[in-house]
């Protein structure tokens, strides 16, 4: 059974078709697993093989096309009728002479769409160069158009039902952060602290469990705080060091990331304490300023003006749209809180605002996930914003 009501999927498909119509696209081949899920409900760890949801102006309901063994999963998780779920034989998989996109092309031909304008997600994670060439070769009369992020932009404004799952993820993220802080001590191995975090992410609350986040827990310390994507080791955490906690929780594939910084030791350096104060003050001020009708770059400006007073600046963006997603990223790659982004905020848009300030030898970060409301914004988690000193 699909997660949302049928009319919610119909509304999503309607908005997608409106954008297809605006771009002159007749047939859209969706490969991004989050977009596939959004349009049909499909949820499975099967994106390691090529698969697609096809939206056509000619069809009321999308098609799910994938591996034969995943048809049962599509029946189980989507709202689609049986005859809109199409599986191919297993010999398309990891085969040097044929590709699942050959099968998708055959289906498109079979339906008489081979001369149409076909949208493809050219930069989606699981749409490979070989898959694209297979489509081009088999559909030489089609007019291919890059429809990268077309569905992702439709995802920008969430429904109340989606917000509800993100609230649940936010609730779990509080437990996850508390678990991380309770397991951080000098002498504890990084892998053991991470193990406790994973446990909390999946166990969730007594009322609702957790799902796997699209990014692994990041808890770097020492020199590794300046190498943002390194994962954990077996090394023990040391005394008198800061630890950055970039964590998240996930509920039915909807995320709520949360970042904090802890200091292991009784006496954090004065400059770290002062950086934490400026950053938290800026985060508070910026969240208070968020209102529908503002544009993304205006939100960033509130932050930038605040830290300029403290003589600081931050080059990178301070936030991005997020929600439903799969590995390797929970970000939606659409709106960003940064100069130049003119996206106008509207109720039920959801962002992760992350303020990471990196100095020469130390850093502080603090983040919130929130949704825009009718009058301002509301965070999904309720967790103290400060430097956590574990003396």
- The reply to whether 98 sits near a copy of itself by the rule CB under 8 A is no
- The reply to whether 125 sits near a copy of itself by the rule CB under 8 A is yes
Interface with a copy of itself in residues 52-71 (CB under 8 A): 69-70
- The reply to whether 268 sits near a copy of itself by the rule CB under 8 A is no
Residue 86 sits at the vertex; the CA angle it makes with 44 and 12, to the nearest 5 degrees, is 65
Nearest residue (CB) to a copy of itself, 21 versus 90:
90
What the block records as the tokens of 161 is 């039902």
Cβ–Cβ under 8 Å, residues 347 and 358 = no
**How, if at all, do strands 350-358 and 363-372 pair?**
antiparallel
Q: Bin 330: left if φ > 0, else alpha if -120 < ψ < 50, else beta.
A: alpha
Minimum CB–partner distance for residue 329 and a copy of itself (Å): 4
Which of 18, 130, 266, 267 binds a copy of itself (CB under 8 A)? It is 130
**Judged by CB under 8 A, which stretch of 21-29, 75-83, 262-270, 291-299 contacts a copy of itself?**
75-83
CA dist 296 and 88 (Å) reads 43
- The reply to whether 73 sits near a copy of itself by the rule CB under 8 A is yes
Which of 46, 78, 117, 379 binds a copy of itself (CB under 8 A)? It is 46
Q: Which residue matches tokens 């999963």? A: 73
Nearest residue (CB) to a copy of itself, 171 versus 379:
171
Please give the C-alpha separations between residue 383 and each of 175, 184, 258, 390, in angstroms, as whole numbers: 9, 17, 9, 16
Interface with a copy of itself in residues 297-316 (CB under 8 A): 315-316
How far is it between the farthest Cα atoms of the chain?
71
Residue 309 sits at the vertex; the CA angle it makes with 304 and 310, to the nearest 5 degrees, is 100
Q: Which residue matches tokens 């006496």? A: 267
Interface with a copy of itself in residues 202-241 (CB under 8 A): 202-204, 208-212, 215-216, 218, 223-224, 226-234
Nearest residue (CB) to a copy of itself, 209 versus 292:
209
Interface size with a copy of itself, residues (CB under 8 A): 71
Beta bridge partner(s), residue 246: 218, 259
Which of 19, 167, 333, 386 binds a copy of itself (CB under 8 A)? It is 333
- The reply to whether 151 sits near a copy of itself by the rule CB under 8 A is no
Nearest residue (CB) to a copy of itself, 326 versus 377:
326
Interface with a copy of itself in residues 152-191 (CB under 8 A): 189-191
Q: What is the dihedral of CA 247, 250, 253, 257, to 10 degrees?
A: -40
Cβ-proximal residues to 132 (8 Å cutoff; 6+ apart), any chain? 101, 120, 122, 144
**Judged by CB under 8 A, which stretch of 123-131, 159-167, 306-314, 373-381 contacts a copy of itself?**
123-131
Nearest residue (CB) to a copy of itself, 333 versus 390:
333
DSSP designation for 227:
S
Minimum CB–partner distance for residue 290 and a copy of itself (Å): 22
Which of 123, 160, 288, 382 binds a copy of itself (CB under 8 A)? It is 123
Which of 7, 58, 90, 288 binds a copy of itself (CB under 8 A)? It is 90
Cβ-proximal residues to 272 (8 Å cutoff; 6+ apart), any chain? 242, 263, 362, 364, 387
């Amino acid at each position: 059974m699909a997660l949302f009501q049928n009319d919610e999927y119909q509304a999503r498909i309607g908005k997608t078709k409106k954008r297809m119509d605006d771009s002159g696209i007749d047939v859209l081949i969706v490969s991004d697993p989050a977009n596939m899920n959004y349009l049909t409900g499909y949820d499975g760890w099967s994106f390691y093989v090529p698969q697609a949801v096809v939206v056509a102006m000619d069809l009321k309901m999308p098609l799910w096309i994938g591996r034969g063994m995943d048809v049962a999963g599509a029946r189980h998780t989507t709202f689609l009728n049986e005859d809109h779920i199409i599986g191919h034989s297993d010999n398309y998989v990891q085969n040097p002479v044929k590709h699942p996109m050959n099968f998708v092309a055959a289906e498109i031909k079979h339906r008489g769409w081979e001369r149409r304008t076909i949208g493809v997600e050219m930069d989606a994670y699981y749409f490979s160069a070989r898959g694209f060439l297979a489509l081009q070769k088999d559909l030489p009369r089609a007019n291919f158009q890059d429809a990268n992020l077309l569905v992702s932009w439709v995802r920008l404004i969430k429904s109340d039902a989606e917000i509800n799952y993100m609230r649940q993820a936010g609730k779990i993220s509080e437990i996850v952060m508390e678990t991380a802080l309770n397991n951080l001590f000098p002498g504890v191995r990084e892998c053991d602290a991470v193990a406790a975090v994973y446990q909390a992410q999946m166990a969730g609350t007594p009322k609702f469990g957790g799902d796997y986040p699209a990014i692994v827990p990041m808890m770097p310390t020492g020199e590794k705080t300046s190498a943002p994507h390194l994962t954990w080791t077996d090394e023990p955490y040391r005394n008198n060091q800061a630890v950055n906690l970039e964590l998240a929780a996930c509920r039915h594939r909807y995320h709520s990331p949360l970042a904090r910084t802890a200091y292991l030791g009784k006496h954090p350096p004065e400059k770290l304490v002062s950086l934490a104060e400026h950053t938290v003050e800026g985060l508070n001020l910026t969240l208070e300023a968020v209102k529908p009708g503002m544009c993304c770059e205006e939100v960033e400006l509130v932050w930038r003006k605040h830290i300029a007073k403290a003589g600081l600046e931050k080059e990178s963006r301070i936030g991005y749209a997020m929600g439903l997603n799969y590995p390797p990223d929970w970000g939606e790659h659409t709106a960003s809180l940064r100069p130049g982004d003119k996206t106008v905020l509207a109720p039920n848009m959801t962002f992760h605002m992350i303020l990471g300030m990196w100095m020469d030898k130390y850093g502080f970060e603090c983040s919130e996930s929130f949704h825009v409301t009718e009058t301002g914004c509301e965070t999904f988690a309720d967790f103290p914003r400060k430097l956590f000193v574990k003396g």
